[in-house]
Structure 1
Amino acid sequence: MAGLYFHIPFCASRCIYCGFYSTVHPELQDDYVDALCRELEETQRSPWQLPENNQPTTVYLGGGTPSMLSLKNLERIITYIYKVYPHADIAEQTIECNPDDITPDYAHGLHELGFNRVSLGIQSFNDERLRFLHRRHSAEEAITAVQQLRAAGFNNISIDLMFGFPEETLMDWEEDLWTAIALNPQHISAYSLMIEEGTPLYRLREKGKIKDLNEETSRAMYDKLIDLLEDAGYEHYELSNFARPGFRSHHNSNYWNETPYLGLGAAAHSYDGRRRWWNVADIKKYIDGINHGTPVRGQEVLDISTRYDDLITTALRTREGINLNKMQAEYGHELYHYLLQESKREIDRGLMQIIDGHLSLTRKGLYISDDILSNLMHV
């Protein structure tokens, strides 16, 4: 099992909170897709590939805004996947979309190309908050997009939401959640608004034009998120992710379960179990490097301590946590006993638990997960 990730960095405009690599040069789309296909094909003749005999079972187009690509360019990518992996049995094929890019024809086109999961970047059902984020769509367009995808045959729709806006109230957030539940998507990802250095949102805070939401309200919002979605039948399977039974994101679970994945495109990252490597975060340098056979990449060979830290920051995000028997077999007695020793105080404080041989966070521990994970790291 493995995952294929394609980074599609095009955006019509940049949202004020986004720290991901993106570009507002749509005229490069054809050349970029050419380079993606060439990179995918050439990885099979180079060290930059999945472990031997490891066929992809998930495909994920993320961004940026993948739905800015034409159906023709999307078809070229899908065709090349099966050209390179003719025996691939891909169970989950996801594309991230902006709601305002969805039309009946585009939705049907995506379905015909084999996409069976759509992740909609809705963020909020409040038009004022959408304008604050510089999102292109309205709340009404978001609801319409879900309906159009369903009409096109999609029965696996995920929506992204955000909470913790400056001056947002708990009632505001609850209204967003009830609207999301009424739409009945199969999957919901919900994130606290993060103010990352270098973003326009960060600069607004530096100038004193906005303030962080107070910690008490933010925690109450996370409580409300968990309570309402679990009461509505969603499984809280990862810190920020909720799914109807059988609808967890298989591709994203690869990242949390140490499954190899291959990332294609500018700024995309890959992992094969012993190395991480990544492409340059510059679309023109990426295209030129691929076209001339000299891709611009960085690489890190992972020692056992780094792999342990990766395990802490990924597996402990999940409901199941860390399988201690498997961890001991793969990481050795020293790191196994280090984990048990360091986690004991968290267990004593009611922040972690061991159930059926798995170490995981308790509900109480979810609220300070970053601090707990940092305390358990080795390097």
Structure 2
Amino acid sequence: MKQDKRFNPSVWQAQIIVTGLCLIVIALEYLTPSEYVFGYLYSGIILLVHSRLKRITAYQVTLLAVFLTLLNLWVPEVHLSAVPTLANRLIATLALIVTAWLSDRNRRYEEAIARQQAQLQAQAQLASIRENFVSTLTHDLKTPLLGAIETLKSFEKGQFGDITPIQQRVLGMMQKSHRSSVQLVETLLDVYRNDTEGLHLNLSAVNLATLADEAIATLTELGRSRNVYIVLNYGASDFRQHFWTKGDSLQLQRVFANLIANAINHAPRGSKVEIILESDGSTHVVKVGDRGPGMSADEIPLLFERFYQGHSDRQAKGSGLGLYLTRQIVQAHEGIIWAENRQPTGALFAFRLPAISPLLSSV
């Protein structure tokens, strides 16, 4: 609906006040000798106009005030020969111009601040709407998927009647697909929250060797389904070592899981995925390698970008978010992550984290 701009009570009141003040100052100026300079009183009127009325009106009032202040040198009597009177009028005129300029600049600053505050408020509201939308969408997507998984488990257990071995395999494949969808939804939510709020870590002393063992145990079935063997070694040492660092065990577990699962998915059937733990005393390095097709040189810098899936024979099968989330977690732990090709074939993903003393790990 269009607003009626013909009548605004606040503007109308301001115009009446300005007009009344102008008449008072004019009366003081022209009913007293020119030696008495009342033009300084226009400063208050100029400030009032700048705060209440349009900018063009403020300019007009300023020019009128300057004109009336100088006009008093001729009207009602000519006083151009009186140097002190002339100097006072010129100083008063300069003061009015400076007042108008400062008032206008202050008004511009206030308008700029108001615009910024409005933008910040709009952004905060938008962020809140997006957060509510993502949370609601995630819940609405996960709930039916989890319900479907439980229903498939019931079928698999024979609660709705006997099932054949072929049906058993199909139900298993359907459960696997649904679990992958749930994981994708959770990853999307995690990436969104990390980008908007930052990654919140529950830091404690963790042993990377223990996390590697746990990740291998979790992904052994995936490796078996692809006929890929997972091995863990400790670089130049033949003995199990402790690789203590300060980190969030749950988040670092996700790093191991993402990198190992990525290697399994790209490893040729019958080959192995190798996890190597190395340390130089001040840092620990975790390497996950496979014997797959490797990567082209131009896509290596893009592997950890959001939604990047590659364009070579090593085409990712997921959403392109796993490596992006992995980079977020490693960088939040003040570490670095990189990828490179292995010789003669394969790919290697590695990350480096600061080490802590075994003595500190027990504190």
TM bin (shorter chain): under 0.3
Higher fraction of strand: 1
TM-score, L = length of structure 1: 0.21
Higher fraction of helix: 2
Rg larger for:
2
